[in-house]
Amino acid sequence: MKLQKLSALVIGGLMLGSAAHAEDVIKIGTLSDYAPFEYKDPSGKLLGMEIELGDAMCKQMKAKCQYVTMDFDALIPALKAKKIDAVLAQMSITDERKKVVDFTNLFTLAPVQYVAKKGAGITENPATLKGKIVGVQSGTNHESYLKARLPKDKSGIEMKIYQSLDQAWLDLVAGRVNAVLADTTVSYDWIAKTGGKQGFAYAGKPINDVAMFGEGTGIAVRKGDPLKEKFNAAIKQVLADGTFAKANKKVFPFSIAPGAK
């Protein structure tokens, strides 16, 4: 009888230990095709600036990161359905999104700008895009901006939606769209590596519309989840100890840290 009780206690202890360990795993929803923030190398390993910073923050929180990649427009539904615990995917903090999720403090700056062929005459002025096609990624605030601010029946601008920006860049080069609207950070990566050599560049100035694009990006969690404050502490730490600056310098010649000019 004593042996049975001891076995039960041992088994129970192991189960409790496993449960406690499981609580330390944070499932982070992210992308796999959003270089330089998230992308896969030829071997399939997930890399990128936000992955590097995510690992550093999880280490600071004494938790294990488990990344779950999916399309951008699937991230918030997956978070609400508890398939993931957080979203780290250059998600802009907007009033519309704050209705359904909580955001951490500001994590990165993400200005928005058109990319087009040099000499095409396209700027941030909607009149320069009348009769043209603009590519955007599905589920982004870029898509929302065109729908809300520049509907085709009023602006004459046609929108083409893509599941990934990689597809949009291919169509821009092929001439199937005249411009792509995206964050300047991810556009910089494409222009520097590919687009610039083919005559593409930023078109016009960044678009100033805080209501649509927010002030920058944050990490999204479920409403009321205390994980928000843990991430806030981790964000503060990586910004203060140089971890953010080091990761930033690897991919951009300018800072995208909150407060940077």
SS3 label, residue 231: helix
CA 138/CA 161 separation, integer angstroms = 6
What torsion do the CA atoms of 237, 239, 240, 241 make, to the nearest 10 degrees? 80
Give 248 or 17, the one with higher predicted confidence: 248
> Do 145 and 227 belong together in one domain?
no
Angle formed at CA 113 by CA 159 and CA 144, multiple of 5 degrees: 40
Q: Give the domain range for residue 88.
A: 23-108+217-251
- What is the per-residue pLDDT for 167? 97
Q: What tokens appear for 118 in the block?
A: 């040099």
> Do 132 and 193 belong together in one domain?
yes
> Do 163 and 140 belong together in one domain?
yes
Q: Given phi > 0 = left and psi -120 to 50 = alpha, else beta, which region is 111?
A: beta
> Do 30 and 45 belong together in one domain?
yes
- Report the pLDDT averaged over residues 154-178: 97
- Report the pLDDT averaged over residues 98-125: 97
CA 50/CA 30 separation, integer angstroms = 9
- What is the per-residue pLDDT for 259? 84
Give 154 or 3, the one with higher predicted confidence: 154
CATH code of the domain covering residue 229? 3.40.190.10
> Do 90 and 160 belong together in one domain?
no
Backbone angles phi, psi at 15, to 5 degrees: -65, -40
Looking at the 3D structure of the chain, how many domains does it have?
2
The one-letter code for the residue type at 91 is: M
- The Cα-based distances of 77 to 29, 48, 85, 208 in angstroms read 11, 24, 11, 28
Per-residue confidence at 17, pLDDT binned at 50, 70, 90? very low
Per-residue confidence at 137, pLDDT binned at 50, 70, 90? very high
- What is the per-residue pLDDT for 212? 94
Q: Is the pLDDT of residue 71 over 90?
A: yes
Looking at the chain, the number of H-run helices and the number of E-run strands are 11, 13
Q: Is the pLDDT of residue 19 over 50?
A: no
pTM of structure: 0.82
> Do 103 and 116 belong together in one domain?
no
Q: Is the pLDDT of residue 18 over 90?
A: no
47-67 confidence digits (pLDDT tens):
999 999 999 999 999 999 999
- What is the per-residue pLDDT for 261? 64
Q: Is the pLDDT of residue 86 over 50?
A: yes
